[in-house]
Amino acid sequence: MQLTRISILGVGLLGGSVGLAAKSLLTSCKVSGYSHRPSTLQTALDVGAIDDPHAHPADAVRNVDLVVLCTPVSVFEDMLRQIGPALSPGTIVTDVGSTKRSVVALAETLLPREVHFVGSHPMAGSEKRGVEFARPDLFQNSLCITTPTRRTDKHALAGVETFWQTLGMSLVRLSPGDHDRLLADVSHLPHALAAALITMQADQGLPLAGKGFLDSTRIAGGDGALWRDILLDNRDNIRASLGRLRHHLVILEKLLEDGHEQALAAWLDQAAARRRDLLNQKLREVNPD
């Protein structure tokens, strides 16, 4: 698939980085961009993330090969309704949302049959927001999850996966349901927990925070509205994740109460070993040999 024209709906940190990466890695690829804010469109132009700015989503997607939906999850439905009639048959649409069941269901309902939707979750980002922080290498060495269903066109899936690979990502395929369930544990719950950890601190205690506290709460520095959308969209899974976390906290509390020195050290050592293995695996992914 030769991509000569792509469209980015929502040119924030992620959308802007998709534009910068596509323009630097895909030869002679032109990028259309939509934002509801004129100042954002101007900045996206200024930093070179897009070539053609558009104030209306439908205008931004005419005659393109690939549309990348980069707005917050909460406006996906509105975007899909607006672009549906303007898309040419055969156009591929994907997204960068952090939850996948709802967007896949919406796209399969709202987009014309001749348009091919493939759900994507490129796991790259930053607690910063705005196109001024966009980087062409944001996706390098990170993971992208695609979430095909029985209705997904195989060629479109291959095209979207090649696109993310070109941007430097490795790929994993999951069903939308498995994606949302696993991400609740490994991403959404940790975010909620970091926010709760900050919220519960006494004013007197916070100045005593060390590097460990700062690291363990870094993800909670992100945009509230963005994370509200993710948490609400995936709330059934997050409730289940919270239940599992509580179960493990009860185990910990029992170990403390009973003063089980060996069992407590084993519980902590197992967690430490699991994290070390994970870190080594991630380092191998970035530097294979």
Interactions with a copy of itself, residue window 210-249 (CB under 8 A): 210, 212-225, 227-228, 231-232, 235, 238-239, 241-242, 244-249
Nearer to a copy of itself, 155 or 244 (CB): 244
Backbone angles phi, psi at 9, to 5 degrees: -95, 110
Handedness of CA 96, 97, 102, 103 (dihedral sign): negative
Candidate residues 204, 287, 288, 289; the one interacting with a copy of itself per rule CB under 8 A: 204
Residue 48 engages a copy of itself in binding (rule: CB under 8 A)? no
Candidate residues 37, 282, 284, 286; the one interacting with a copy of itself per rule CB under 8 A: 282
Query: Whole-angstrom distance between the N-terminal and C-terminal Cα of the chain?
Result: 31
Contact 152, 178 (CB under 8 A): no
Contact 145, 169 (CB under 8 A): no
Residue that has been written with the tokens 């060495």 in this structure: 141
Nearer to a copy of itself, 1 or 279 (CB): 279
Spatial separation of the C-alpha atoms in residues 49 and 9, rounded to whole Å: 12
Nearer to a copy of itself, 85 or 259 (CB): 259
Residue 209 engages a copy of itself in binding (rule: CB under 8 A)? yes
Q: What angle do CA 7, 126, 46 make, to 5 degrees?
A: 45
Q: What tokens were used for 125?
A: 């980002």
Site for a copy of itself in 52-81 (CB under 8 A): none
Question: Closest distance between a copy of itself and the C-beta of residue 206, in Å?
Answer: 6
Residue 278 engages a copy of itself in binding (rule: CB under 8 A)? yes
Question: Closest distance between a copy of itself and the C-beta of residue 79, in Å?
Answer: 18
